[in-house]
Chain A
Amino acid sequence: MRYLPLTDTDREDMLARIGVPDIDALFSDVPVGKLLKAPLDLPRAKGELEVERIMGRMAARNVAASAAPFFVGAGAYKHHVPATVDHLIQRSEFLTSYTPYQPEIAQGTLQYLFEFQTQIAALTGMEVANASMYDGSTATGEAVLMAHRVTRRRKAVLSGGLHPHYTDVVKTLSGMASDEVVALAPDVAANEDILAQIDDQTSCVVVQSPDVFGNLRDLKPIADKAHAHGALLIAVFTEVVSLGAVTSPGAMDADIVVGEGQSIGNALNFGGPYVGLFAAKSKYLRQMPGRLCGETVDADGHRGFVLTLSTREQHIRRDKATSNICTNSGLCVLAFTIHMTLLGEAGLSRLAELNHANAVKLADMLAGVKGVKLLNDSFFNEFTLKLSKPAAEVVEALAEKGVLGGVPVSRLLPGAGLDDLLIVANTEINTDEDRAAFVAALAEVL
């Protein structure tokens, strides 16, 4: 077996040195009858070529985003990732290292975490950011728990524009802790009266912008009302590229900002691994979940970086910890931070502008198709269409024509009476030809 360096002779020598007759003598604590004698009912070892054949065949059964005009978003987005990113994250010293418990030989990881935290704080307009969460949805769940710790209240109000899967994650986590969740009805037109829901029992208000339907929302009035009642505003985004073009949540006085960072540096990966972004006002720092990297000096006075404020964390505080989180999304963070370094402010602004320009172009083209109505007043790179037929059927018909045409709202919210709505995303990857193919196919299907 190519991965195992020990030879049978080595094994015999080592057993002799240990002083046991055979390997099973080392398993003597396994209860009688529970040590497996027969081999497991699974195939035997395979060479690299065989594994490539098996997995290549499985992969070939899927339609890759790059193989078709592709307009699917709703929480994960297809963007172009520079070749430099994937090369660098496969450097052995990054790929095969671990959580930087020994900072003297992990400054590479620690420095990029520090750079990442600074980038996220700048992007979101917040004072402090952590070293990442699993993804945007779990970051949102943790943000709600953090707000409960800060306010010592236990009621969260969720906007109807929040991604329904994020709502479900918050409900699941909060439900287990018997915390109250008020989830507003799906709010396609971004005109819900969320202010009326905020009272003196409210711990936090959770609002997404751009929301799941693509609408941009003004968070400032919500922040003001929340603060007047001693509650926090948690701002959410699923498309981090939008921050290159729209007002940051920090500028609208959000208290905690969480989001999905997949768009920068990371592939679609059928949903994971992704990278959860988490930022807050610094007065709430000690209630934040997750790893934090901080600057310090070494014994010679040189600048260096370490994991810090670990007294919040599970390995020190155990059942009193701010979260049970142990890992972060290390390598996805690295991909994000390299891509963002390549972009810089100039590149991010240009990327955001191109995404928006493409989406505007597509929205206008689609709005001209018979049986299609554009529902958004404002949007970034994603918008919602009302169709003359059920969107799930339309999407299947489009797929048969070789176009991946968006996400039916009924896939996210079955039984909500929104079966004729389709969420469409358009990024820099889409060409004029892609858009023309989409429009033509949709016209045929409707």
Chain B
Amino acid sequence: MLNRQGRPTQAASSVDHGRETFTGNRALQQIEPLIFEIGHHETTGVDIAKPAPFKNRLGTHARKDGIGLPGLSEPETMRHYVRLSQKNYGIDTGLFPLGSCTMKHNARLNEKMARLPGFSDVHPLQPVSTVPGALELMLELARYLMTLTGMPAVALSPKAGAHGEACGMMAIKAAIAAKGEGETRKVVLVPESAHGTNPATAALIGFEVRSVPARPDGTVAVEDVKALLGPDIAAIMLTNPNTCGIFEPQIVEIAAALHAAGAYFYCDGANFNAIVGKAKPGDLGVDAMHINLHKTFSTPHGGGGPGAGPVVLSSRLAPYAPVPFIHVEGGAARLVEHASDAPAGNDPFGRMTAFHGQMGMYVRALAYMLSHGADGMKQASEDAVLSANYIRAGLSDLMSLPFPDHPSMHEALFDDEWLKGTGVTTLDFAKAMIDEGYHPMTVYFPLVVHGAMLIEPTESESKASLDLFIATLRDLAMAAKGNDKARFTAAPHHAPIRRLDETRAARQPILKWVKPEPIAAAAE
């Protein structure tokens, strides 16, 4: 059953947590106003030459009103954003076990490579003859992605995972239309455990969504899929390893059943980090799978983007890949930017984005791949899986596992059964982890589990780091069971800010700064 109880969104009552200061600052934690409260519209931190007088060609379109933007000088700008950064938790701060997000180490070599002028300072529309190195890099990335997945084609241009999902589903829709089945195959199967992007994507592309139940062991059964198959089914969108952290044991049978019924298999590749070098989606019957370069290949998450979501495609879908793409013939690479220019046998379904996709992310991902090599990428997957299972083994006597019958892949899923009667919720437990210096795990996802806690340590943690994390969670778990409720329900106590009132934010949305009204009567 889907668990719809959601997480608490209102703040708990306050407790005293230390002496107030005059400034409100707490040593390194500085109160920092908004730029609109400290900047001035005549201040600027950029010196720009004043042009010689000239006659403008703006016609009647010259701006007549002010904009209302404050500026800060360079030192003020630097301090403002450094102070903001100090209110953030990143991978470089500590263990960031956010399940399904793969928060692994972000090597600075990758940043350095992405900033080489030959990559960062080239325009998407400058003459193709001036960018052979860009095409070479994209082809090399494509070769790596195709080899790792065992798939014959890849569409590089999608800008993020969800955009890649859209691309893959569009290719499926185009293939179905080409077979003359566009009017009949309109339903996409999505398991209850799926990421929310899957049903949202299917609906966006004009498909109807039908749910596939999850079995009690957290997997999808081929019989359940078969029971839903028919001439109206276009595809399934299945995550593998799935969102419960389990490799779908019947994935090959599911793919075969879909193909026998004339449907396609879209695999959500968000969890590809568990199986790089261990299993190839192409061997499992996958027709399309996006790869989150920002997860598996460590292009940084950057506070929520930019991502990159290339989609590998089976030979059945490859002809429908969107423009632009690079076509290699007789050893020569040619950039195909329009359907009219596509080689014979190709029928691109359209265009996903204005230009060639996330080049800056391609560079970082390829730097990751070259650094790791085939051996390092396989080892990384094994270490990620090993670390998740090690955490699971260290906690399973105290915390409840909803699916104990399967080994975990790169993330371990717990539920809140073990918290019953303690008065502590999953959210409280997560907030108490903040006080201990950790970023919480993913909570309340997947929805098929009550009070889910999804822990993904990645391969980037040392054994000492994992041991301390396990010891900390054990201490917290025992405190929760030992009636030390205050440690949880009012947490976090030590973060830059205390628990926030999300209900208020949604009820009375304040989405931008508005200049306060002057208090006219105050002087009287």
A296 adjacent to chain B (CB < 8 Å): yes
Residue among A108, A137, A175, A340 with max Cβ neighbours from chain B (10 Å) = A108
Kindly specify which of A114-122, A195-203, A436-444 makes contact with the partner chain.
A114-122
A247 touches B355 (CB 8 A): no
Residue among B84, B199, B492 with max Cβ neighbours from chain A (10 Å) = B84
B137 touches A109 (CB 8 A): no
* 8 A Cβ contacts from A221-274 to B: 243-248, 251, 260, 267-273
Residue among A45, A137, A166, A291 with max Cβ neighbours from chain B (10 Å) = A45
B196 adjacent to chain A (CB < 8 Å): yes
Least Cβ distance of B339 to chain A in Å? Answer: 9
Cα–Cα, bound, A70→B150 (Å): 41
Cα–Cα, bound, A178→B207 (Å): 11
Residues of A contacting B52 in the complex (Cβ-Cβ under 8 angstroms) = 357
Kindly specify which of B414-422, B479-487, B509-517 makes contact with the partner chain.
B509-517
Residues of A contacting B84 in the complex (Cβ-Cβ under 8 angstroms) = 107-108, 111-112
- 8 Å CB contact of A314 from B66, B125, B197: B197
Least Cβ distance of A99 to chain B in Å? Answer: 4
Cα–Cα, bound, A99→B102 (Å): 13
Cα–Cα, bound, A348→B304 (Å): 27
Known A39-B374, A108-B87, A396-B129: A245·B78 in contact at CB below 8 Å: no
B105-132 interface bits toward A, Cβ cutoff 8 Å, 1 = contact, 0 = none: 1110101110111111111111101111
Least Cβ distance of A117 to chain B in Å? Answer: 5
Least Cβ distance of B192 to chain A in Å? Answer: 10
What are 26 residue pairs bridging A and B, where the CB atoms are less than 8 Å apart in the complex?
Answer: A4-B383, A26-B386, A27-B247, A30-B278, A40-B277, A42-B374, A54-B370, A55-B366, A61-B132, A67-B117, A76-B125, A97-B88, A100-B303, A114-B513, A117-B512, A169-B352, A245-B58, A245-B63, A270-B134, A271-B354, A272-B308, A342-B46, A345-B68, A345-B71, A399-B126, A399-B130
* 8 A Cβ contacts from A10-56 to B: 10-11, 13-15, 17-20, 23, 25-31, 34-36, 39-46, 48, 50-52, 54-56
B344 adjacent to chain A (CB < 8 Å): no
B47-70 interface bits toward A, Cβ cutoff 8 Å, 1 = contact, 0 = none: 011111011111111111111111
A58 touches B136 (CB 8 A): yes
A106 touches B124 (CB 8 A): no
Cα–Cα, bound, A9→B39 (Å): 56
B370 touches A46 (CB 8 A): yes
Least Cβ distance of B378 to chain A in Å? Answer: 7
Across the two chains, which residue of chain A brings its CB closest to B356?
A271
Known A31-B252, A321-B200: A247·B117 in contact at CB below 8 Å: no
Residues of B contacting A353 in the complex (Cβ-Cβ under 8 angstroms) = 50-51
Residues of B contacting A145 in the complex (Cβ-Cβ under 8 angstroms) = 204
Residue among A76, A104, A414 with max Cβ neighbours from chain B (10 Å) = A104
Least Cβ distance of A432 to chain B in Å? Answer: 11
A40 touches B34 (CB 8 A): no
Known A18-B389, A343-B45, A357-B51: A55·B113 in contact at CB below 8 Å: yes
Residues of B contacting A300 in the complex (Cβ-Cβ under 8 angstroms) = 14, 498
Least Cβ distance of B188 to chain A in Å? Answer: 9
- 8 Å CB contact of A294 from B91, B341, B511: B511
Least Cβ distance of B80 to chain A in Å? Answer: 7
A299 touches B375 (CB 8 A): no
- 8 Å CB contact of A342 from B74, B91, B130: B74
B520 adjacent to chain A (CB < 8 Å): no
Cα–Cα, bound, A115→B173 (Å): 40
Residues of B contacting A118 in the complex (Cβ-Cβ under 8 angstroms) = 34, 36, 512-513
A-B contact sample (12 more), CB < 8 A, given A1-B376, A51-B371 = A10-B463, A11-B383, A18-B393, A27-B247, A61-B133, A70-B123, A271-B359, A297-B501, A305-B500, A325-B162, A326-B197, A343-B71
Known A102-B434, A122-B68, A296-B502: A338·B81 in contact at CB below 8 Å: yes
A271 touches B355 (CB 8 A): yes
B3 adjacent to chain A (CB < 8 Å): no
- 8 Å CB contact of B123 from A19, A106, A404, A412: A404
A74 adjacent to chain B (CB < 8 Å): yes
B280 adjacent to chain A (CB < 8 Å): yes
Cα–Cα, bound, A272→B46 (Å): 25
B120 touches A176 (CB 8 A): no
Least Cβ distance of B1 to chain A in Å? Answer: 15
Known A104-B434, A298-B497: A346·B44 in contact at CB below 8 Å: yes
B85 touches A216 (CB 8 A): no
B393 touches A98 (CB 8 A): no
Cα–Cα, bound, A78→B123 (Å): 8
Cα–Cα, bound, A132→B159 (Å): 13
Residues of B contacting A267 in the complex (Cβ-Cβ under 8 angstroms) = 120-121, 360
- 8 Å CB contact of A296 from B123, B246, B280, B500: B500
A42 touches B354 (CB 8 A): no
B96 adjacent to chain A (CB < 8 Å): yes
B355 touches A165 (CB 8 A): yes
A155 adjacent to chain B (CB < 8 Å): no
Across the two chains, which residue of chain B brings its CB closest to A179?
B206
Cα–Cα, bound, A232→B106 (Å): 43
B315 adjacent to chain A (CB < 8 Å): no
Cα–Cα, bound, A91→B349 (Å): 40
Residue among B163, B371, B390, B512 with max Cβ neighbours from chain A (10 Å) = B512
- 8 Å CB contact of B204 from A6, A324, A359: A324
A378 adjacent to chain B (CB < 8 Å): yes
Cα–Cα, bound, A76→B483 (Å): 59
Least Cβ distance of B230 to chain A in Å? Answer: 20
A192 adjacent to chain B (CB < 8 Å): no
- 8 Å CB contact of B390 from A14, A302, A343: A14
Known A177-B204, A268-B122, A272-B306: A411·B359 in contact at CB below 8 Å: no
Across the two chains, which residue of chain B brings its CB closest to A238?
B354
Known A104-B499, A378-B58: A247·B64 in contact at CB below 8 Å: yes
Known A36-B277, A51-B367, A358-B51: A92·B92 in contact at CB below 8 Å: yes
A389 adjacent to chain B (CB < 8 Å): no
Cα–Cα, bound, A395→B460 (Å): 48
Residues of B contacting A42 in the complex (Cβ-Cβ under 8 angstroms) = 144, 147-148, 369, 373-374
Residues of B contacting A294 in the complex (Cβ-Cβ under 8 angstroms) = 505-506, 509-511
Cα–Cα, bound, A296→B54 (Å): 48
